[in-house]
Chains A and B, each alone.
Chain A
Amino acid sequence: MISMLNILSFVALTLAVVLITVRLFKKPNKSLIALLFAVSLLSLSEFTNILEHLNLAPETDEWEDLLEIVFLPLLILSLHIGMLEEELNKRLISESKFEAIYNNAFTFIGLLDHEGRLLDANDASAKSLESNVTFMLGQYFWETPWWTHSETEQEKLKEAIKRVQNGEVCRFQTTHLNIDGEITHIDHSLTPVYDQSGELIYIIPEGRNITQLTLVLKELEQHKTDLEKLVDEKTEELNAALTISKQLNDKLYNSNQQLEQSNLELKRQSEYLKQTLTQLQTAQHQLIESEKMASLGILTAGVAHEINNPLNFIMGGVTGIDLYASEHLSAHDEGIKQPLQSIYSGINRISKIVKSLNTYSRTDNFRTTQCNINSIIDDCLIMLQNKWKYRIEIMKQYDPEAIIEANEGRLHQALLNLLNNAVQAIKEIGEIEIITTVTETNITTEIKDNGIGIKPENMNKIFDPFFTTKEPNEGTGLGLSITQKIIADYHGTIKYSSNSPSGTIVKVVFPNFSGIKDS
């Protein structure tokens, strides 16, 4: 049993030795060599043990013990070497990483002792001088070639190192000379490193080349200055433009005001033109009416003349008959006188009508005479007799001094219109009161009727041309308009008002230029 265990142990250990040997050939290693020795010794020990149990070598106990004594230290030694190698490998890897960072950084990194002597510097620092930094090691940092170009920068560094020695982390901007002798701008920092007891052991100097950044900043500053200047210039230009714009705006505003005024003036003129056009139309209608009246005047004048001649014959004949009857037919006086009186009466009436027609038909429109308003009213009443007789009572209250300077025909036309309106306003029976009064200043004619009156809403329109409330064939709507015009031509005024309880009062007032009034 024990021999079997020894054999199995030997086999296992021999396999292990073979395996280690193969691996040792592939990759030589101190720890593997130690392990190979250890396992080989143990294997040999087992082998001697087997020989002993098989009585092939009975005196091998000492050897076996010796081998076992050496085996364990060797095994532990191999472990120890392995651990050391691993630690070393770790450190090597760590160092290579550190060196990769340290020497490939763009920044200048170094190491100073606590008094500021240079202990190491990375490749970037060396490249900035294009030389090896080995000869500088041990020098005070401010005495190295990076700082010797300027005493000021050296003093600055010394001061910074003093501050670091007092526990501060310093950062400042400085300048270095590059290999071409040009000044480069450096952002420099100094960081203290302490040991476990808190003692300063190292100072890490670190520098970053900020030349380009500085140049860009300077350029930016220049651009900023230029931009500010440009902004100032443009602001001034804008202010000037604004002032001009304001002036133009004022001018525009004034022009606009003028245009608005012109527009108002144009509107006013347009209104005036409309009014003028209306007046022209009115004048045209007046002319037409005047023309009609003139034609009517000519007609009535011709008719009056033609009637007047036979009337003279009739008058002469009747006078002759009257004389003859007085001389030869005295016995028939009673029978003849009555018809003759009737004939005389008729002839007188015809004569008055003819006279009125003559007055109305006078064509000398611009010739003025002293016109008796009362007579003209009477003539008008005669002309309108067929319209009012037997249904309207005419009451007259005349002032005998109602005389004005005017064209008799036109005045006749005006008063005829007013009296005609008064007659037409009375549909059946009624009264018309005609009053003429004279004062020192005015000559007034009032015509009052008790007809249908004028509706209040029409009161402001009655003088408008073509305004009429009569039936289509009864009036043109021009009568009062023409009348107002005629009265206004002689400086008179016309005013309508309501007559209580019904009817209308029309009041025509002419100025009394003569100022004569019989008290």
Chain B
Amino acid sequence: MMTANRPMFWRIVRRLLIANRGRLFVIVLALSAGAAVTAALLNVQVDANRRLTTEFRALGANVIVAPRTAAESSTLDQGLLEQIPASAEGQRVSAVTYLYLVADAYSPASKNATHVVVAGSSAARCDAGAKVAVAMHLQVNDKLLVRNQQREESCRVATIQSTGGPEDNQIAIPLDAAQRLAALPGRVSVIQISVAGTPRAINNYIADLARRLPDADVHGVRQFAEAEARIYNRISGLLGTTVVVVLILTTLCVMAAMTNVAMERKNDVGLMKAIGGATRRVLRLFLAEAAILGLIGGVLGAAAGIVLSIGLGKAVFGVAAKPRLIVYPIAVTLTVLVAIASAYPLRRLASVRPASVFRGEA
């Protein structure tokens, strides 16, 4: 019975779709607009979350590895650096090591020694802080001599930094030079790690690292971690809410259109029932129609939305958002669900009585 009826079922569905082109076009338009906005927002959301966490790293390192005792002289073994995982949940991790010491610095312009903090850093450069430069009359390209007890190192100043942070009062030299100066080969004072990721991923990373380095003190930089988590959660929540709201709107919009369709179809349904169509099958017919509309709208709209989100990503973050394939099926599925949900007004057709329809009663 079912097999014989299947071609007939689809034929009726096809006729329904073709006969109502104008009305259905509006529905498909609404559905695909909803799908487009949903897909674009979902894609931007996935991308924005990732980009924001990367963007937050402009604030600097967020994980610190330091010696357990806080005394001035304690240091860590440089070999620890190799035990630091190079990635956390797919995000790159960058680590910089520092060795601090207080030494005498000499510049060509000043004869006297200046007592200054020297930071040996694995990002090997030769930089002077803004305040140091003022105090020592240093200029870019000057030769800088640093002396600690009998040991000396010299370098040419590459840049003068003004950060507003402690770097302004320091001289930065390559790590190996600082280690020679301090006579602490292979030792570092602190490792600063910059990990991008969600607040949870960063916490997991810190816990993991603390297990790997039992002899060191591993902690997150609270100053940024908390603000980041707060801002991240708010933005993520806002984007999520918008997606939900847009889907609800699409449902309502299609529902309104479907109500009108339902009223127009009274005659069709009356006829179907009169010639023996069961209510359930008639309803199935309309549900199939709605699902097809949803599919068409979803497939077209979601594709447009993903293209749109690439542009949006470019507008917001300056980098085109990567289209995420997972977003496409999700958006299409959501649209089909919305279409089926919005076929709810068609349920009224079940109560149509053929006789009254044919008598011309409303």
A and B co-occur in one complex: no
Q: Which residues of A are interface residues toward B (Cβ below 8 A)?
A: none
